[in-house]
Structure formats: structure tokens, C-alpha cells
Structure 1
Amino acid sequence: MASISLQPKFSLHPNNSILHFHPQNKPQIIFFTRKVKIKTKTKCSSIDPQQQQQKQRESFTRKKKSVIETEKGVDPVGFLTKLGITHKAFAQFLRERYKSLKDLKAEIFTRHLNLQEMASGFEILGTHRHREHRVDYMDWAPGARYCALVGDFNGWSPTTNAAREGLYGHDDYGYWFIILEDKLREGEEPDELYFQQYNYVDDYDKGDSGVTIDEVFQRANDEYWEPGEDRFIKNRFELPAKLYERLFGPNGPQTIEELGEIPDAETRYKAHKELHKDDPPSNLPPFDVIDNGKEYDIFNVVADPAWQEKFRNKKPPLAYWTEIRKGRKAWLKKYSPAIPHGSKYRVYFNTPDGPLERVPAWATFIQPDAEGKQAYAIHWEPPPEYTYKWKHTAIKPPKSLRIYECHVGISGSEPKISSFNDFTEKVPLQLLNSSYVLPHVKRAGYNAIQLIGIVEHKDYFTVGYRVTNFFAVSSRYGTPEDFKRLVDEAHGLGLLVLLDIVHSYSAADEMVGLSRFDGSNDCYFHTGKRGHHKYWGTRMFKYGDLDVLHFLLSNLNWWISEYKIDGFHFHSLASMLYTHNGFASFTGDLEEYCNQYVDNDAVKYLILANEILHALHPNIITIAEDATFYPGLCEPASQGGLGFDYHVNLSASEMWLSLLKNTPDHEWSMSKITSTLLGNKNYADKMLVYAENHNQVAIFSCISKALFEWIKFSSYKYSISGGQSLAEILLTQGNDKAPQSNELLLRGSSLLKMIKLITFTIGGRGYLNFMGNEFGHPKRVEFPMPSNNFSFSLANRCWDLLEKEGVYQDLFRFDKDMMKLDKNEKVLSRGLPNIHHVNDTNMVISYLRGPLLFVFNFHPTDSYERYCIGVDEAGEYQVILNTDERRYGGQGIVKEEQYLQRTISKRVDGLRNCIEVSLPSRTAQVYKLSRILRI
């Protein structure tokens, strides 16, 4: 068959790992070795380069227009209008951002079919088993000149499995593609068909059926095909060759220049009809052309209705082809896997600066470097009998979140790195008659766990925030199958599993990770100062690059698709939203959110991430951790927001630390407490609050000590811990071995309960607690590092404290009942509270949330016998939670006969009625309207 020299541009199709076409402006030729069998669809074009450029521009405009049309009802400044905010500069910024986002989507559609494909790179990148007894490997390295896969499966040879110019090569986007064919075992004959497929998962013990390909074709011909219909099956090039010969003759043109002008469709059709008017009838489908008289549809090809009905009723002949598909057992008998399960491998690049080896960017299991040995990827393809089988389905997100934040490595009581299996099985909790951590979380009343430090990172002491390999679970905790079991067990208990994801920066290590991955400095990251975090020594992503977006969006989709993760906590957005990485003073002026320091590409990435995640996985939860309160974090993207479901109030925990360390008890400001806990009132409904999390209980040692001391007193203190938990400050006074007086224990226990209760009930729809803090864990977390001689003494949890009567059991009982309060009364899912009483002199705070009345007396010494608190509804109010009860370690000053209070018809705090309550110092009470009185 004649061919045209205008060659297409190749890249891999995600569905079948076969090359497909991308139009381009300039002719190129891609060479392949003869042994590679590639299925392609041949397409001839008679359009000259100028016409093709015009066609590309029209296609781009059409796709851009389709993006606009599919976003009807979009208002780029909608959330500003809803909040009644007028700010011309920020409104203009939102409009320009919306336009650039549309352009970005249109550009994406020139490379990808849709946004879903944009987030599905894990289906083709990395190593993947192909049914045609081979493994396909693909990676992105535009700066490399040569690529090979080296490992113990090929003797670490950089030439055995390689790709270079003239041998596979790479496409114009810098994606390298390598085929690793399974090795035929000694004494075995190669398959009769080069496209012989094997079923590696289902019916994996199925062997050869004994049916030859000739028998299959004959059966299909006798039972299925109409006479003559199967003529093109054995030789798939016959049909296009015949078509080309009919169009251009047996000696047709060889180039575009020789092709010349082609008549219009009407002329060609009439000439074809005239030429074949005397031909005998054919069993091929009868087509004809009609003219509808419309400019855009002059010729409409239609088929005979009877033939169409016959075609629709005919099922595909798949049953015949499954006869020749063999199972895993037959494959293992005949072939040796190209990369056996558990093989160690790296990717080898030849770059302008010389050869280098890297851990593949899309690898799913990594062995970090140890004892001076370079890290490597581990090919994870366990046999079906060893692959984890999911038992439980994902659960729908609740209306309110009670999150238990965990770090698997420190979840044990022993001084070691705990594993996924330890976390699921081996932490002793005799108090709860359970030997598992996950049931402890469930019985403690939480409905979600949030895992930190799960994604692979080189150094354990960085707590997982200097990520090196974004698609891999950390091998120090176990295998991917172990992690799947953990997630599945959590789902079985009705717990959501949220993952702390770090897309705001990446580790700067070069032997592992993405830094200088292909030898260049701008593969995944910005060059120069912008490519490095201002203080943390990490690399900053180049969010404006389509291939970087492809990597990050696919990474989010991977954790959900592969591990059934229920949501993400996006870590440290301030470091990615601003070129100064958030190290600046914020006054709240909207000008600060649209000036030259805002990374607009990063903002668009977050919008795309939320849009794609919620479209592909409607029940997904996304949480934004941003100390700057970027406007519109939780507003819909269609209204100018970023689309998150929750945002974290980082200032709450900092306030409690500051009050406890720097302010005497009697000088605490009730007004400051309430205003800080509510945060920005415009976004309070979707706020996630905590009294403390890992930022307050772990020392991040990924920075120098001098820098740590500087940041600790800077305005960016929220991101670096002070090294002490609230319990360590209040209960041990910095020395957990020293016995504490009853007075100090009573003060510490009382304040801990009050701090937790007001933080839990005054904020938005989410609350978070760090592992162990539910019972007042007395020690901080300190990971093993050089400064402590790599000690594990503080890198664990003291679960044994729950087995002893005392303050820790008391605190745990209170925390458990506090969670039960939300479960029974739906506190967090109700509207925002009506804070109607804030008295800085008496140090009393009171607010209403639904039918519940919350009253706090923070005064260290003053108690009040008949304190008037305003309520709206007249009736009887019953105490349902009291921090001073003896079973919570309190004094029990308020007796049970005082738990029921009847309202008085007296206007107080602007409300029509009031109740007179007894308020001992440092106590809090929760009342519920149990009976309404009609007056």
C-alpha cells in the first residue's frame, strides 16, 4: 500500500497501551525495531500543512467554546457577591483567573480526551502488565537522551531494555516507552499468534483449551459471519489497501505534493456511483448519501434500515476469541515474566551531563537507600492468590467529621517503627477489651482516621513531609497489600480514611525523588529561587506545566482508585499559593490575595484537583490547610472558589498554646477566645478545628535548629511545633516523672476538658484530635534523629496509661462522651452557634447551638451560685454533660438535683427568657431543652 510521508506523533493510549495519533504541524518520522508489533489505525490525509494548522486552530477554538458552554451558570465573582464583599482588584483577579482556567482546560483537551484522562496517568505510566505476555514501561523525562530500565531481572544492564532515538524513542512531550517481553522458557514453542493474550487475574489457573486459531476462525465463519464478512480479519491491512487503491488507483501518489487537489465530496461520490453502477450486489452494508439542504450537513451517509437493525441485534463475536485466551497458569508454564514480582529496578538515563540512575517517578513500591546503597523500586505484581481481596465497600461521608489523626510509625507502645499490621492488630488496650487500634478509634466515638506520613519519604524524622515517591506507600510500614488491609478494616468499622497529601512541595534529594529527575533542573520544578522553598530546603512544583499537572492529578486519583482513600487533607497550602511561601504578614486585605506574590498556576491546580476529584468520586472529602484564610477556599469553583469541602482553623491551637504559656489564667480574654475559635465568620460553617494536632506534639527536624528557633517565634509559627502537647504543659509541667499535686492536676484536667469542649462545639462541621491526646498523652513526640542519638523513646504512644485508674482514664471518658454528644445530638452538623453571652470580667462564655446551651466559666477562682444566662425557648433545661463530674476527675460540686433548670420569664442577653445556673470555677456545662413550656 502506498503511504503518505506526513507522519503522526505518537503517544500511548491509556486503554490498550498502543500508540495513537496526535496531529502536529511539522512532518516527523518515528522509527521502531522490527521485533515490535504495534497495532495502528492507518489514516490518509489530503490536507496540506497550512490547512492542517488552520484545522488545529479551529479545533482548539471549538474545544475552548465547548468548555465555556458546559459551564453555564458560572459566576467568577459569585462568592464575593454572596458575601456582600466589594473589592474591584480582587474581583478582576477572579475574572482573569476564570478566563485563564478556561484556556488551561482547552489546552488540556489538545492532549487528553477529557479531564478524567488527565487524572489517569497511572494507567499507562510506570510498569504495567500487558495481556500479550509483556510488561510496558513508560516515564516522563524530557531532558534525557537515552532511557533504559535496569534491575536484578536483567543484570542491571543499561542496554538490554532500552529506548533511544531509532529504538522506540520518545514522543515530543518527552515520554519514554519501553516494552519488556516475557522470556520463552526452554523447550517451549512461541505462541502461534503474536497477539496471544493471557488472563493474569480471573481464572488464573485456566490452561490451554487445545483449540487452534484455525478452528476458531472456522467456527466463527460457520456460525457467526455472513459470507465474505471475515475476509479482512486475517489481514487487517487489506481493507485500507483496497480503499486506497479504489481512491487513487494501483499507482497512487506517494506524497502530498503528488496527491494534488482532491475534488469535493459531492463530485467524488457521483464519480464513484457512476463507476460502480454495474457492479454485482455485495454483502457489505448498503450505504447511500442524501442531501438535507443544510449548509453544515450537505451529505449525510445513511445505511439501509433493515441492515442497521440486523447489525444492532448481532452481538460481538467475543465468545470465539476467549477460546484462545489462556490463563496465568499456562503463561507461567510457557514464559518467564519479564520482571518477576519483587524485582529491584531503577530507570537509567543518559543526559547531557552524563549517565544517571533514578527511582522511577511512578513507581508504587520503594526500598529507600540504606547503609550507603542507592534506593530502588520494587516491582509489585503479586500473584492473584496473594493479592488483597477487598471485603468492605467505602462508606458515605457523614454530615460532620470527628477525625482521629494517626501516624502509623509511632502508634505502638514499643520504641520502634510500628507497621500497618501493628496498627491494625497489636496495640494492647485491655481497658476496652480490644487488641486493635482501629476498634479503639471507633469506640472512642470518632468517625474518621487521618493518616500522616504514609506516602514514601526518605528520612523518617521528617514525619513524612519531605515526600520522595508520590505513588508509593512507605515501605517502612509494610507492603501495599498491608495498607489495603488497614483501609479495608477501617471501612468495615464504619471509619472514613483520609490521607494527608503533600503537593505543596517535594523532597530535594536527587538520588530518590523528583529533583533533577531527568538531569535537568526544571523537569518537575521551577528553576532558580522560585524552585526552592524559602526556608525548608524543599523543591516547589511547576504547576503551570501540563505534565506536572498530569502527574499530580493522577497521583490524587491513584490513591482513591488503588487504595479506596475517602479524602485528602492538603498540607500547607500557603507554601504553594504564594511565591513567598506564606512567610509574610497578612492583614486580611483582599489585595494580599491577588498581588504579584500569588502563584496563579497553583490556585488553578487546586481548582482542577477539586473539580476532577468531586466529578470522578462524588463522595470524596477535601480539606484545605491554609493559615492565610485564602478567600473562597470552600466556595464552589463555579462561583469563584477553590472547591474544598473543609478548611482548617490553624489559629485555634496556636491561641491555646499562647494562653497557656504566656498569659496568667485570670487574664484570659473571653472575647479573644470566641473570635479566634469562630475564625472568619464567612467560612465558619465549613471549618475544621482542633485544640491540638501533630504540629503541636511533634518536633519537625527537617530544618536546622537555628532556623527552627527563628520560625518558632515568627508569624508562621503554625507550621512548626513548639514540641509540647497541651497535656504535657498542664499535667506534667514539663516533667512527666515528677508527682503532681492534686491542685495542679485538677487545674490541668479542668482546663483540658474545657478547652476541648469549647473548641469542639463552637466551630464548624469538623473536629480533629491527634492520636493519644484523647486521654491527655503526657509526652511530646520526637522522632529519632542525630540530635537525640536516634532514640525512639518519644516516638511511640503510652497506651498503658489507659489501663490505670487516674487522670488519663478520666480524660478519656470525657473525650468519649464528648464525641457521643455529637453523635446523639448532631452538634457539629447544626448551624453556627448564637454566642449571646461573653463576659470578660466574670470570664463566662455562653452560646446556643440548636436545642443545646453551652456555658463555660474560665475564672480560676470565682464561682457563681445563680448566674443568669439568656435562652430563647421557655421550658426545662437538663444538664447532659458536665466537665466537673467525678467520673471525669472533677469535684462534683453541682449535684444531680441541680441538673434540671426551669426558665424564668426575664429578658437577659437580648433573649426573652433565662435560667439561673450554678457555675463553679473552671467548669463547663451543656444543657438540653428537654421540655418546652407554652405560655
Structure 2
Amino acid sequence: MIQDTTLEHDIYLFHEGNLRYSYKLLGAHPDVRNGEEGIRFAVWAPNAVQVSVVGMFNEWNGRENPMEKINDNGIWVAFIPGLEKGTIYKYEILTRHGHLQLKADPYAFSSELRPNTASVVFPLNDYIWGDEEWMKQRKAKNPYESPMSIYELHLGSWKNVEPEVFYNFRDYAEMVIPYVKELGYTHIELLPLTEHPFDRSWGYQATGYYSVTSRYGTPNDFKYFVDQCHKSGIGVILDWVPGHFCKDAHGLRRFDGEALYEYANPAKAEKTQWGTLTFDFARNEVQSFLISNAIYWLKEYHLDGLRVDAVASMLYLDFGKEDGEWELNEYGGRENLEAVSFIKKMNESVFEETPDVLMMAEESTSWPLVSAPTYIGGLGFNYKWNMGWMNDMLKYMEMDPVHRKYHHNLITFSLFYAFSENFVLPISHDEVVHGKKSLLNKMPGDYWQKFANLRAFLAYMYAHPGKKLLFMGGEFGQFDEWKDLEDLDWELLDYDSHASILDYTKQLQQLYQDMPALWELDHKEEGFMWIDANNYEQSVISFARNSRTTNDQLVVVCNFTPEVYHDYKVGVPKHGTYKEIFSSDAEYFGGSGQTNGLPLESIPSPWQGQDQHITMTIPPLGVSFLKRTSVSKEEDHEK
């Protein structure tokens, strides 16, 4: 009989799918009963015949600490006096079929280091945060009209002690944060840190959704890492995977002997492409589990956002499946209506609890209104990865420049839809692994041209509307593709070309930070204006980026061939003196030095739809940023 009305209410909300803090109800928590300190355990297992807590403390004997079933919907509880932080445990579950199985706690906050699989008692409230100033500033910040450049990294292969032996989160804080801050990134994005059995899944196939992977330390160690990032002015985004989970025996699969967290229908449950199981998005308790999990990472770890992985795999019943492996929805469509409803509910819940965070969808289709509010029919994220831009641009950049003029649309098409969503431009880990080659090695041409192409690509990326994301190694031109069991090829920085690319990335980031035109109107059409999108013969494009202040306007000219064009006419929106404030072809970046050192005075003759034009040198495989630094003599006279 439950006598605590608060507990009764939480249990009711859990079964209704509306308990946003279910990790405070379920799992292992320090408690006091009849004056004795110990641990209260609670688990949801409605199909179990009996559940016990087992561990070294009772020699893994399920008869010692049986749990009591406190309601008809299958919540089991037990209080064990004398246990404390660090206790290793599992749940022993007797199924309807007479089988005994050992399961890790779905709500455990910590886990044993693989290959061991037990859960570890770890209180949530024994870390003292020092990031109050950051959290205060975050509430007042408008991310849409602010610079955002994200450094995506996989901690274990950024640097490691040796393959599959990693540093602690605290060590990574000392190494990663100064590096990222020096380069000028605003955010770090970490590949999933939920506990997972297999290193090479990179965390995308998890068993412990509430458990920080013990590969890098304890929950408090991770809190320290986030805390230090915030103290250094760097936000932290975590890759999060609510779409599917792995089938390992100690995890969520058939948790109480029956399909519980996954769909009972194999056609909906099986992710055949990955060998994983789909969450049952229609089940209320699963909704409480996942929504609470999102809020848990944002609240308990002060994270600044979640990048939600594989959203398309949630939205479509036929994702990654052949004919006959999936079933139509009740209206004859291929959309997973339950997942759509869940995603909307999740985002509404997250933003009600933490209104100042980022919820970023990795959604690879043309599903409409991904980053629009739910009240106008959107999915409710506030950002979407622009996978179309990424695919088009990498395809374009991999071509020999001789052939680029035949595929000019690949660099211009993204502007037809650039303002339909709040986009992030992602060059992520997925693009530099599994034989896809590193970003530098995708580039065609000889040694010099590879680096010139990379500089041009990065400059165009930073000039294009949308926030920015680059996977580790791209910033210094790693030649090999990502080797997930080794650390980055840091020795390349002993070579001038790679050291120059690192400096180039830093200077490009500084330009980006300093120029509101590159981010202030990122998601509005008035933030961008084509000057010339049609010169496919020479593979040259030019455009303007605008801020709220007219004088902050930038003119950007991109040349995707190795030809130099002298006395090239570029239309400019206003008359005056234009200065080249940044060139990807500068000699100190390893370029050929075909820059425009002298001021460029506009000529009052129409060109490319503009009233004025300038003549300039267009560098080979280069991008030039121009800014009007003073008004022309004519405009000054008019005043």
C-alpha cells in the first residue's frame, strides 16, 4: 500500500507517459528507513513473476533481497540497508516462462567498465557546480542570431593512452578545452556517452541510457568536464539516440521476458540495417523513460543541447528495410505516427523544462517543418542538420575542377531551401569513415590543390547561411580517414601545410565571430543575396551576407577552379571603397598569394544586377571576403 501521495502521483504520471523526471522515481537512490541509511531500488517490470536485487553484497543470491510489486502496472521496489555509493548490482528477473535473467538497471546512473555489465549506485547530488555565470548568460542569449561553430569529437580517438585505453574526463578537460578555445569554437559536440558494450559502436548502440560511460570516468568526472567547458565559455552538446537500442542480454531487450521497451511486433521493432531494436513510442512508460532521459542529460549535466540521432529512422516505418519487412500505418502510409507524436511531445516537454537549450535533429529526408514549433505543425526541434547541403557540397568538391562547371547546381541549390529550417551545416564523423576518406583526402588535385580546395570549401561553408559543425581532424587536414581505435595524427602539425590549415581554421573562426553578417540573419532570407549564381563556365559565384546593420554587409567571391582571373568584374550593392578582409589564398595560409592588397573603389556602372561594380583578382581555388570600409567620393559628395 502506497501512502506517500507524491509518490502515488509520480507513479500515475509515469504510467500515463507524463513523468518528466522518472529517473527520480526509478533506479537506485540513497534513502533512510527507520533510521537506517541504505539504497532504495525501483524498477518497472510488469511481466515479471519475481524480481530481486543481486550483487556482491548478497553473493548474487536472488533469494536474499526480493523486491515487492507495489502496483498492478509492474513497479517493483526494495530498500536494502547498509548499501552505499559504489555498490555493484543487477536485477534478477524470473519471467513468465520460468527463466531467470540478470539485467542492468535501465535507470542506473553509472555502470561497470566493459566488459563487465553490472550497474553501480551513484548519487546525483554530490557535485558542486561552478558555472552559474554561464547558465545565466545562456538564458539571455538568442542562439539564432549568434555565432555557433561546433567542434564534434569522439573523446576516445581524439587522444588516448593506447588503443581502447582512455584518459579520464578530467584529463580531457585539461587537453581539449584550451585547444577548442584557442581555435574559437563556440561549442563542443560529443559522440554518445551513454553506456554501451562495444567500443566500435561509438555509443550509438546503448544499454545504459542514464549511465555515463565508465570508459572515461564517473558521472562527477563528466560533470567536471562540462563545468570547465562552461567556465571557458564553451557550450556542450551531446549526441543522443532515442530511436533504437542494442540487443545485448543485460540491456533493455525483452527486459522482463517480454517485449517491453521495444515494439512487440517484429516488423516495427527490428532495425534490420543496424541489428538493433526500435523503442515502442506508443507505450506510455517508454515515453516517460525517453523524455525523462533527455531532460536528465540537460538538467543533471547542465548540457546545452542534444543532437538527436537518426530521426528519419524514427519517422519512417520502412527506414532501412526491404519490401515485406515493414507494414503500412493505419492510413496506408509509411510514417510512424506514434514516433511523430512522441517527438513532438518530447520537444514540448524539453523546452518547457529547459527553454534555453538546443534540440538538433539529424534528419536526412525532406520531412517538413522539422525545426518549427509544434503548434504550427512542426516537429518542435529548434535546429536541423542540413544533410542536403553536406551531400551536394562534398560531391561537388570531390570532382576534378574541370568537371565542376557541369554540376554548378550542387553549390547553388541549397539556397533554394536554406531558410525553410534553422539549419546547421554538418561535416561530421559519418563523412570521414568507412572508406569515405578524410575531408582533405576527398579533395582532388596535387598536394597544393588539395589544401587549396580544403581552404576554399571551409571558407564557403562559413560564408553560407547556417551554423557550422566540423568533425575533429578536419581543422588541421588529417590525411587518413577517422581511425576510431587510434588517436588523431597530431604529428602532422610538424608539417607546414597542416600547421597552416590549423591556423587558417583559427583565423576563419575569428572572421566568423567578428562579422555579424555571417550569423545574425542566418535563418532569414534578408541575410543573403546572390550577386552572381550563374557563372558555371568559370565555376565562380558571388553573393552578399547581411546583418541588421547595413554597413556590416560582406561580399563573398568563390572560385572553384585552379585558374586565376585578373580584372574580374563583381557587382556590389553599394558604392564606396571595398577592402579584402580575408582571402583563403593568402601566402601565410599556404596559398599562392593572389590577393587584393589595395582598396577596391567601386565604379558607378551596373553589373550583375547591382548599381556598382569593382574589378578584382579572383584567386585560384580561393574565396575572398570583401567589406565596404568607406563611402565613395560620389556618395560622400551627395551627403
TM-score (norm 1): 0.62
> Which residue identity does 2:224 align to in structure 1?
R
Equivalent positions of 1:236-315 (< 5 A) are none
Match of 1:825 among 515, 518, 526: 515
Post-superposition offset of 1:111: 3.9
Q: Tell me, yes or no, if structure 1 residue 607 matches structure 2 residue 344.
A: yes
Which residue does the alignment assign to 1:478?
217
Which residue does the alignment assign to 1:725?
438
1:167-223 deviations in whole A, cap 9, x for unaligned?
Answer: x3241222112222x2xxxxxxxxxxxxxxxxxxxxxxxxxxxxxxxxxxxxxxxxx
> Could you tell me how far apart the structure 1 residues matched to 2:154 and 2:339 are?
28
Which residue does the alignment assign to 1:621?
358
Which residue does the alignment assign to 2:78?
178
Post-superposition offset of 1:10: 5.1
> Could you tell me how far apart the structure 2 residues matched to 1:422 and 1:602 are?
37
SS at match of 1:847: strand
Q: Tell me, yes or no, if structure 1 residue 751 matches structure 2 residue 441.
A: no
Match of 1:365 among 110, 118, 136: 110
> Could you tell me how far apart the structure 2 residues matched to 1:123 and 1:22 are?
11
1:318-353 deviations in whole A, cap 9, x for unaligned?
Answer: xxxxxxxxxxxxxxxxxxx2x232121100111112
Matched residue pairs, number?
Answer: 604
SS at match of 1:440: helix
Post-superposition offset of 1:363: 0.8
Post-superposition offset of 1:425: 5.1
Which residue does the alignment assign to 2:52?
148
Using a 3 Å threshold, how does the CA distance of structure 1 residues 757 and 140 change in structure 2: closer, same or farther?
Answer: same
> Could you tell me how far apart the structure 2 residues matched to 1:595 and 1:567 are?
35
Post-superposition offset of 1:582: 5.7
Post-superposition offset of 1:422: 6.3
Q: Tell me, yes or no, if structure 1 residue 796 matches structure 2 residue 490.
A: no
> Which residue identity does 2:573 align to in structure 1?
D
- For structure 2, list consecutive stretches of 5 or more residues without a partner in the other structure: 547-552
Which residue does the alignment assign to 2:118?
376
> Which 10-residue stretch deviates more, 825-834 or 142-151?
825-834
SS at match of 2:623: strand
> Could you tell me how far apart the structure 2 residues matched to 1:462 and 1:824 are?
38
> Could you tell me how far apart the structure 2 residues matched to 1:599 and 1:12 are?
38
Equivalent positions of 1:59-78 (< 5 A) are none
Post-superposition offset of 1:664: 5.1
> Could you tell me how far apart the structure 2 residues matched to 1:860 and 1:542 are?
53
Match of 1:342 among 64, 70, 86: 86
Using a 3 Å threshold, how does the CA distance of structure 1 residues 574 and 679 change in structure 2: closer, same or farther?
Answer: farther
Post-superposition offset of 1:407: 0.8
> Which residue identity does 2:446 align to in structure 1?
L
> Which residue identity does 2:74 align to in structure 1?
G
> Which residue identity does 2:425 align to in structure 1?
V
> Could you tell me how far apart the structure 1 residues matched to 2:451 and 2:477 are?
9
> Could you tell me how far apart the structure 2 residues matched to 1:467 and 1:162 are?
27
Kept after mapping to 2: 8 A contact 1:11/1:20: no
Equivalent positions of 1:104-115 (< 5 A) are 111=16, 115=18
Q: Tell me, yes or no, if structure 1 residue 688 matches structure 2 residue 424.
A: yes
Kept after mapping to 2: 8 A contact 1:651/1:676: no
Equivalent positions of 1:464-613 (< 5 A) are 464-511=203-250, 513-581=251-319, 596-613=333-350
Using a 3 Å threshold, how does the CA distance of structure 1 residues 931 and 673 change in structure 2: closer, same or farther?
Answer: farther
SS at match of 1:485: helix
> Could you tell me how far apart the structure 2 residues matched to 1:145 and 1:876 are?
81
1:370-408 deviations in whole A, cap 9, x for unaligned?
Answer: 2xxx621111249x9xx4321222351542311010111
Which residue does the alignment assign to 1:421?
169
Q: Tell me, yes or no, if structure 1 residue 923 matches structure 2 residue 622.
A: yes
> Which 10-residue stretch deviates more, 524-533 or 874-883?
524-533
> Could you tell me how far apart the structure 2 residues matched to 1:443 and 1:767 are?
17
Structure with more strand by fraction: 2
Using a 3 Å threshold, how does the CA distance of structure 1 residues 110 and 527 change in structure 2: closer, same or farther?
Answer: closer
Using a 3 Å threshold, how does the CA distance of structure 1 residues 726 and 817 change in structure 2: closer, same or farther?
Answer: same
Q: Tell me, yes or no, if structure 1 residue 781 matches structure 2 residue 482.
A: yes
> Which residue identity does 2:538 align to in structure 1?
N
Q: Tell me, yes or no, if structure 1 residue 857 matches structure 2 residue 596.
A: no
Post-superposition offset of 1:763: 2.5
Which residue does the alignment assign to 1:846?
542
> Could you tell me how far apart the structure 1 residues matched to 2:202 and 2:4 are?
37
Post-superposition offset of 1:424: 2.6
> Could you tell me how far apart the structure 2 residues matched to 1:529 and 1:597 are?
12
C-alpha root-mean-square deviation of aligned residues, in Å?
A: 2.6
Q: Tell me, yes or no, if structure 1 residue 631 matches structure 2 residue 332.
A: no
Using a 3 Å threshold, how does the CA distance of structure 1 residues 882 and 848 change in structure 2: closer, same or farther?
Answer: same
Post-superposition offset of 1:694: 0.3
> Which residue identity does 2:519 align to in structure 1?
L
TM-score (norm 2): 0.89
Using a 3 Å threshold, how does the CA distance of structure 1 residues 799 and 364 change in structure 2: closer, same or farther?
Answer: same
Q: Tell me, yes or no, if structure 1 residue 159 matches structure 2 residue 63.
A: yes
> Could you tell me how far apart the structure 2 residues matched to 1:492 and 1:508 are?
39
- For structure 1, list consecutive stretches of 5 or more residues without a partner in the other structure: 1-8, 24-107, 183-336, 427-435, 586-590, 700-721, 734-742, 784-791
Post-superposition offset of 1:584: 9.1
> Which residue identity does 1:651 align to in structure 2?
G
Q: Tell me, yes or no, if structure 1 residue 136 matches structure 2 residue 37.
A: no
Match of 2:395 among 635, 658, 669: 658
Kept after mapping to 2: 8 A contact 1:659/1:668: no
> Could you tell me how far apart the structure 1 residues matched to 2:619 and 2:394 are?
24
Post-superposition offset of 1:662: 5.2
